[in-house]
Amino acid sequence: MNDRVSAWSRWVFLALPLIIPLIVITVLIAVTNDISLVQRASTAMILMVMVVGLHIFSGNSGVISFGSVAFAMIAAYTSALLTIPVEQKPSLFPDMPGFLSWIVEFSLPVPAGIVVAVLFTGVVAVIVGVPLVRLSGLSAGIATLAFLVVVQVVVTKWKAVTRGESTMVGVPKEATLWWALAGVVLAIAVAALFQVSRNGRRLIATREDDKASMSIGISIPKERLVGWTLSCMVAATGGALYGHYISTFSATTFGFALTFFIVAMLVIGGMGSLTGAVVGVLVVQVLSEFFRTLETQGLGPIPIIDFPGLTEMVLALILLIVLIVRPSGITGGTEVADWFARRKSPESSAS
Amino acid sequence: MYLQYVVDAIGTGSLYALMTLGLALVFSVMGLMNFAYGQLVMIGGFSIIMLRQQPWWAIILGTILVVVIASLLMERLAFRPVRAATAMTMLITSFALAQFLQQAARVAFGANPRPLEQFSELSVQYVVGDLFISRQTIITVVVAISIMLALTLLLKKTNIGIQLRASTEDVDMARLVGIKSNRVIASAFVISGVIAAIVSMLFFATRTNVSWSSGESIVLIAFVGAVIGGLGSMVGAALGGFLMGFAYTLLNALLPLELRVFADAFLYTIVIVVLLIRPSGLIAAKGARV
C-alpha cells in the first residue's frame, strides 16, 4: 500500500515537471501563430517521442539500440498503407502482392491507422526482441544496427508494397502541433510509469549491476524484453506521427542520419534519465534550427552562410565537445525530481 | 562458372579483411569501436583525387601521410579525453566524430560526388583457363596478405609490437610494468591509419567517384566483420571481414534475380544470427571486452 502511494507520487514528480512546461510552451507557440515556429515545435516534439522511446529501453537497461528508427519506419509505412485514401491506392500500388491485396480495398481514419501501426510494430518488436535482448554491449549495438539495415533494404527494394525508392505520397497530412503534444505527453507519461513500475525498477537494477540483480532472481532477458517492446512501440508512435506530419517520406527519411540524431539527443541530454531525453531534444533542436536558419535566411545582421552540411557539422562538433567535457550528458542522468530533493542522484553514475 | 564467383569473392573478401583489421587493431588496444574509421578511408579517397596527377608513388605516399596524420589527430583530440569512459561513450564519441568528418567533407568538397579518373592500368584482365582475373584482384590479394604478414611480424618481433600485444591482453597490467599507454595507443592509430590509407587506395581504384558519404558503408562492413569475427582477436577480425566480403559477393551472384536486390538484407540477417549463436564472435579473444 505504502509502496503504491510512493510509486504514484514518484510518477507525478517524474512526469509533471516535464509535461507541464511542454504544454505551456506549446500553448505559447500556438498563440503566436507563427507558422515556421509551429512547424519547428511540432518536429521537435515528434522527435522527442522517438527519443523518449529510445530512452525507455537504452536509458533504463544501459544497452544501446541503433534500431529504434527501424521501428519508427515500420510504423510510418504501416500507418501510411492503412490510411491513404482508397481511391488513390490502386494507382499508387498497382503491383500489391495477392496476400496483401486487402490493403488496397479500404482505408482507416488516421488515429485508427496510427493505433494499428503501433500495435503491429509492437508484435514485430516482440518477435525481434526475444532473441536480441540476450545480447549486450557492442554485440547488441551491432545486431540492432544490422536490423536497421535489413529493414532499410526491405523497404527500399520491396517496390510493390513500399513504392521502393520513390517517396510514399498521398499519406493524409493530419498530424498538427496538438497531435505532436499529445504524442509527447503520452510518451512521457508511459516512460515515467515504466520507470516507477516494478518492471522498470528491475530493469534499472540490471543496468546498475547485472550479477547482483540476477542473484536476487531477476531475469535479465525478460525485463529487457518488456522495456524493449514498450520502447519500440513509443518509437513507433513517433514514427507514425512523423509520417502523418511530413506526409511524403522514403526509407532514407528513417536512415542513419535520423538514428544519429536520436542517439545524440539522448546522450547529450544524459542517458539514464527521462529528463535527459527531453532536455537533449530541446537543446539539439534549438541549436540545429538556429544553424539551419543561418544556412537558409541569415539571422539579423548575420548574413546567410550557405554550405550544405554546415548545420550537421556544427551539431556533431557540439556533441563531441559535450561528450569530452561532460560524458554523462547535460543532466548527468538525474531527474527534475532529484533537483528538488537536493540530493545527488544514485543514477548519476549511469551512462 | 562458380569458380569465377569464388575468385571475385576472394578479391572482395581480402579487401574487407584488411578494412576490418585496421578497426580491430585499435579496438583490441583500447576497447574503442572507431566508427570514424570509415571516414579515414573517405579522407584517403579525397587525397587520391587531390594527388591524381602526380606519379603513382607520390599518390601512395601522400595518401598514407594524410590519413595517418588524420588518424593521429583523431586519437589526440577526440579519443584521448574519453579514454577512461565506458565503451559505449567511446562508441558514441566516434559516432559523433564520424558525423563531423563526413559533414566537414560535405562542406569542403560539396554535396555531389567528385569524379575520379580511372586507373586503367589496374583493370587489365588475365585469362587463366576459363577464369578472368583482373590485375586489381591480384594486387588486392597480394597486398592484403603482405600487410597481414607484416602486421604479424610487427606484433611478434618488434618492441612496440610486443608492447601493443601486452596492452591488448591487459591494459592495466601493461601500464604497471612500465608500458607507456599513450605511445602504444598512438602507434595503434598510426598502423590503423596506414591500413585505412591502403584500403582507400584499393577501394577507390575500382570506383569512379569519391563522395562525402563514401566512408559509411565501409565502416559498417568493417564493424560487423570485426564483431562476428571475434572482438579483440586479430585473426578473428581478418576472418570476419573476409567472410563478409565473401558472403556479400556470393549472395549477389547466386541469389535468384528477384531476391538479389535483397542481398544486403540476407547478409545482415546472417550477421544477426551469427551474433545470437556466438555473441562474442567466431573466434573469441581471451578476456575480450565485449
State yes or no: pLDDT of A308 exceeds 90.
no
Residue B10 has pLDDT above 80, yes or no: yes
CA distance to A68, A129, A149, B268, per residue, from B272 (Å): 16, 12, 11, 6
- Inter-chain residue contact A131 with B220, CB threshold 8 Å: no
- Reported as a pLDDT band with limits 50, 70 and 90, residue A348 is very low
Residue of B nearest to A152 (CA): B265
What pLDDT does residue A305 have? 66
Q: Which of B29, B221, B45 is nearest to A145 (CA)?
A: B221
pLDDT tier for residue A1 given thresholds of 50, 70 and 90: very low
Cβ–Cβ below 8 Å for A137 and B290: yes
Min Cα distance B5 → chain A (Å) is 23
The residue-averaged pLDDT of A167-176 equals 87
Domain around B69? 2-277
In 3D, which of A266, A274, A272, A275 has the Cα closest to residue A322? A266
Query: What type of residue sits at position B137?
Result: T
Interface list for chain B against chain A, based on CB atoms closer than 8 Å: 33, 78, 81-82, 85-89, 91-93, 95-97, 99-100, 103-104, 106-107, 110-111, 212, 216, 220, 223-224, 227, 231, 261-262, 264-265, 268-269, 271-272, 275-276, 279-280, 290
**Beta-carbon neighbour count of residue A179 at 10 Å?**
19
Interface mutation target, options B23, B257, B268, chain A, most CBs of A under 10 Å? B268
Copy the grid coordinates of residue B208: 569512379
Establish if B249 belongs to a structural domain. yes
Which residues from chain B sit within 8 angstroms of residue A329, using beta carbons? none
**Quick check: is B142 in a domain?**
yes
State which of A58-67, A237-246, A262-271 shows the largest mean pLDDT: A237-246
Q: Is residue B145 part of a domain?
A: yes
Task: Residue B73: name the closest of B190, B160, B184 by CA.
Answer: B190
Residue B200 lies in a domain: yes
Asked if A152 contacts A251 with a C-beta cutoff of 8 angstroms, the reply is: yes
Percent of chain A with pLDDT over 90: 45
* Higher-scoring residue by pLDDT: A93, A193: A193
Question: Which chain A residue has its CA at the smallest distance from B216's CA?
Answer: A256
Using only C-alpha atoms, chain A has a radius of gyration, in whole angstroms, of: 20
CB–CB contact B106 A313 (8 Å): yes
Number of domains in chain B: 1
pLDDT digits (tens, 9 = 90+) for B187-236: 999 999 999 999 999 999 888 889 888 888 888 888 888 888 877 778 88
By C-alpha distance, the chain A residue nearest B263 is A153
- Nearest-Cα distance to chain B for A138, in Å, is 6
Of B78, B85, B262, the CB nearest to A327: B85
Picking from B81, B99, B106, the nearest residue to A324 by CB comes out as B81
- Please tell me which residue of chain A has the smallest CA distance to B99: A316
Cell numbers at residue B37, please? 574509421
For position A107, what pLDDT does the model report?
A: 87
Whole-Å CA distances, A106 to A171, A247, B15, B135, B192: 14, 19, 50, 58, 56
| Number of alpha carbons in the 13 Å side-chain half-sphere of residue B215 | 28
Is the pLDDT at A226 greater than 70? The verdict is yes
For residue A260, name the pLDDT band (cuts at 50, 70, 90).
confident
Q: Please check whether residue A22 is in contact with residue A184, taking contact to mean a CB–CB distance below 8 angstroms.
A: yes
Contact B210, B110 (CB under 8 A): no
Give the 3-state DSSP-derived string for chain A, with helices as H, strands as E and coil as C. Answer: CHHHHHHHHHHHHHHHHHHHHHHHHHHHHHHHCCHHHHHHHHHHHHHHHHHHHHHHHHHHHCCCCCCHHHHHHHHHHHHHHHHCCCCCHHHHCCCCCHHHHHHHHCCCCHHHHHHHHHHHHHHHHHHHHHHHCCCCHHHHHHHHHHHHHHHHHHHHHCHHHHCCCCCECCCCCCCCHHHHHHHHHHHHHHHHHHHHCHHHHHHHHHHHCHHHHHHCCCCHHHHHHHHHHHHHHHHHHHHHHHHHHHCCECHHHHCHHHHHHHHHHHHHHCCCCHHHHHHHHHHHHHHHHHHHHHHHCCECCECCCCCCCHHHHHHHHHHHHHHHHCCCCCCCCCCHHHHHHCCCCHHHHCC
* A258: closest chain B residue by CA: B99
Min mean pLDDT across A207-221, A269-283, B227-241 is at B227-241
Residue B285 placed within a domain: no
Q: Is residue B16 one of the residues assigned to a domain?
A: yes
Q: Closest CB to A323: pick one of B92, B224, B261.
A: B92
- Confidence band, pLDDT 50/70/90 cuts, at residue B289: very low
Residues B229, B236: contact at Cβ < 8 Å?
Answer: yes
Maximum Cα interatomic distance, chain A, rounded to a whole number of Å: 63
CATH no. for residue B80?
1.10.3470
In a domain, B197, yes or no: yes
The answer to whether the CB atoms of A324 and B82 lie below 8 A apart is yes
| C-alpha grid cell, residue B79 | 579519443
pLDDT tens column, B104-135: 998 888 888 888 887 777 778 888 888 888 88
- Identify the pLDDT of residue A3: 60
Q: Do B272 and A132 count as a contact with CB atoms less than 8 A apart?
A: yes
- A-B CB pairs within 8 A amount to 130
- Among the partner residues B87, B103, B269, nearest to A313 by beta-carbon distance: B103
Helix (H) or strand (E) holding B185, with range, is helix B181-204
Kindly determine whether residue B231 and residue A316, on different chains, have CB atoms separated by under 8 Å. no
From B275's Cα to the closest Cα of chain A, the distance in A is 7
User: Which of the residues A159, A291, A323 would you substitute to probe the B interface, choosing the one with the greatest number of B C-beta atoms within 10 Å?
Assistant: A323
| Candidates A138, A149, A312; nearest CB to B33 | A138
> Could you tell me if residue B284 is inside a domain?
no
pLDDT tops 50 at residue A186: yes
Q: How confident is the model over A44-94, as pLDDT tens digits?
A: 999 999 999 999 999 999 888 999 999 999 999 999 999 999 888 888 888
**pLDDT > 70? residue B48:** yes
For A92, the grid coordinates are 499508387
Helix axes A110-132, B263-277, angle to 10 degrees: 50
Of A64, A153, A315, the CB nearest to B262: A153
Q: What's the gap in Å between the CA of A266 and the closest CA on chain B?
A: 11
In this prediction, residue A312 has a pLDDT band, given cuts at 50, 70 and 90, of confident
Please give the span between the terminal C-alpha atoms of chain A, in angstroms, as a whole number: 33
